[in-house]
């Protein structure tokens, strides 16, 4: 197992290295450089821009810039924000716990709803309830996540006042709350954004789970279980569902990129101070070091998420263990 994890980790390092290279290429493939918008300002002297270009090393040949860029990334130096007067790493450090919390809560809702709905559909394919749920899951799969967030925010935040509409904590009461009260306040703020992101993902998860369930029920061991007289509930719940969950666990790793893409939009809707909102705000201010830094960190999160899903699959499925 340790060797397997190390091997997958090494693959992950390769992926991150290529991601760094890819972002470097993307940055340099765009017309203009990070200082173009500054240079276009009427009250900025061209000499100043030239000096900044030299300071940032943008006047050097591309291969020199690339090696320097790699070196900085290796040291964890993501550069300095152009608008925040602090390092990109510091800005991301503040944002990342909020995004991880949101993403994990959303993943829980996504799989909780998606797996139950999909497993039920797969156990009763082509029934009326299966068709109804299919219509629901296709709709969820097709909803723009930011629009779903706006609608939920309007209904449950601004009309019913059930949940707060912005931020991670209550700016007024939070400092005065007890330990448990602080946790409750955070959870209260988490509900709507996590529900938005989770529901949007649940549509896809349910579709996958339904297919996996139908396939599992067609297998021989299900026939055996039925033949020996097990009650249908046990056949479906214990034998079929357990096997149908395996592809879904693997899917969790694949769901991670979409989940993080979603955080950019959901965090913007709910003013949630995470990685996605950091990137979305930065793009409005053309703060490119923040944007590329956030993209790199998001990619690292995806790689780690895939690794976790792979390890979980290996633990859950004895067939993937190497013969010894």
Partner 1 sequence: MSRLRLGITLVSLLAIVAIIAPLIAPYDPTVQLDLATLRNAAPSFAHPLGTDLYSRDLLSRLLYGARISLLIGLLAVAISVSVGTSVGLVAGFSGGVIDIVLMRIVDAGLAIPKIFILLVVLALWEDVTVAVLIGILGFTGWFGVSRIARAEVLSAREREYVAAARALGAGPIRLIARHILPNIAAPIIVAATLGVGQVILVEAGLSYLGVGVPPPQPSWGNIIRDGQDLIRTAPWISTTAGLAIVLTVVAFSILGDGVRELLDPRER
Enumerate binding residues for partner 1 (CB under 8 A). 14-16, 18-19, 21-23, 26-27, 29-34, 36-37, 138-139, 141-147, 150-151, 154, 158, 256-261, 264-265, 268, 276, 279-280, 282-284, 286-288, 291-292, 294-295, 298-299, 302-303, 306
Closer by beta carbon to partner 1, 44 or else 138: 138
φ/ψ of residue 87, rounded to 5:
-75, 155
The minimum distance between CB 65 and partner 1, in angstroms, equals 14
φ/ψ of residue 80, rounded to 5:
-115, 135
The minimum distance between CB 36 and partner 1, in angstroms, equals 6
Closer by beta carbon to partner 1, 127 or else 261: 261
State how far the Cα of 156 lies from the Cα of 165, in Å rounded to an integer. Answer: 9
Closer by beta carbon to partner 1, 21 or else 219: 21
DSSP state of 316: H
The torsion angle over the Cα atoms of residues 103, 105, 111 and 113, rounded to 10 degrees, is -130
The minimum distance between CB 283 and partner 1, in angstroms, equals 5
User: For the chain, percent helix, then strand, then coil, each to nearest 5?
Assistant: 80, 0, 20
State how far the Cα of 268 lies from the Cα of 33, in Å rounded to an integer. Answer: 26
Closer by beta carbon to partner 1, 207 or else 314: 207
The minimum distance between CB 139 and partner 1, in angstroms, equals 6
The minimum distance between CB 257 and partner 1, in angstroms, equals 4
Closer by beta carbon to partner 1, 4 or else 174: 4
Closer by beta carbon to partner 1, 241 or else 264: 264
Q: Angle at the Cα of 306 (from 73 to 29), degrees rounded to 5?
A: 45
CA-based radius of gyration for the chain: 24
DSSP readout, 272-306? --SHHHHHHHHHHTT-HHHHHHHHHHHHHHHHHHH
The minimum distance between CB 5 and partner 1, in angstroms, equals 18
Closer by beta carbon to partner 1, 225 or else 273: 273
The packing angle between helices 288-316 and 241-269, to 10°, is 170
The minimum distance between CB 242 and partner 1, in angstroms, equals 23
Q: Are 287 and 79 in contact (CB under 8 A)?
A: no
């Amino acid at each position: 197992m340790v060797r397997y994890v190390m091997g997958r980790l090494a693959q992950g390092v390769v992926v991150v290295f290529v991601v760094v290279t890819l972002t470097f290429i993307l940055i340099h493939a765009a017309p203009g450089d990070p200082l173009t918008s500054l240079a276009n300002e009427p009250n900025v002297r061209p000499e100043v821009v030239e000096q900044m270009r030299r300071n940032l090393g943008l006047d050097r040949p591309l291969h020199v810039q690339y090696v320097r860029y790699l070196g900085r990334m290796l040291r964890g130096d993501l550069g300095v924000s152009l608008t925040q007067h602090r390092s990109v790493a510091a800005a991301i450090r503040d944002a990342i716990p909020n995004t991880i919390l949101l993403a994990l809560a959303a993943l829980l809702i996504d799989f909780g709803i998606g797996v139950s709905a999909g497993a039920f559909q797969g156990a009763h394919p082509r029934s009326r309830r299966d068709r109804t749920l299919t219509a629901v899951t296709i709709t969820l799969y097709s909803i723009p996540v930011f629009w779903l967030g706006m609608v939920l925010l309007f209904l449950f935040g601004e009309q019913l006042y059930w949940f707060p509409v912005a931020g991670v904590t209550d700016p007024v009461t939070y400092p005065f709350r007890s330990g448990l009260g602080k946790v409750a306040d955070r959870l209260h703020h988490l509900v709507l954004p996590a529900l938005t992101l989770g529901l949007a993902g649940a549509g896809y998860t349910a579709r996958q789970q339904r297919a996996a369930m139908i396939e599992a029920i067609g297998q021989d061991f299900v026939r055996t279980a039925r033949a020996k007289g097990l009650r249908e509930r046990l056949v479906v719940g214990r034998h079929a569902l357990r096997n149908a969950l395996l592809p879904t666990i693997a899917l969790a790793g694949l769901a991670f990129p979409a989940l993080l893409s979603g955080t950019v939009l959901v965090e913007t809707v709910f003013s949630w101070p995470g990685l996605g909102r950091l990137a979305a705000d930065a793009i409005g201010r053309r703060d490119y070091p923040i944007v590329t830094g956030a993209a790199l960190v998001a990619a690292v999160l995806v790689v780690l998420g895939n690794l976790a899903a792979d390890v979980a699959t290996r633990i859950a499925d004895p067939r993937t263990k190497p013969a010894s």
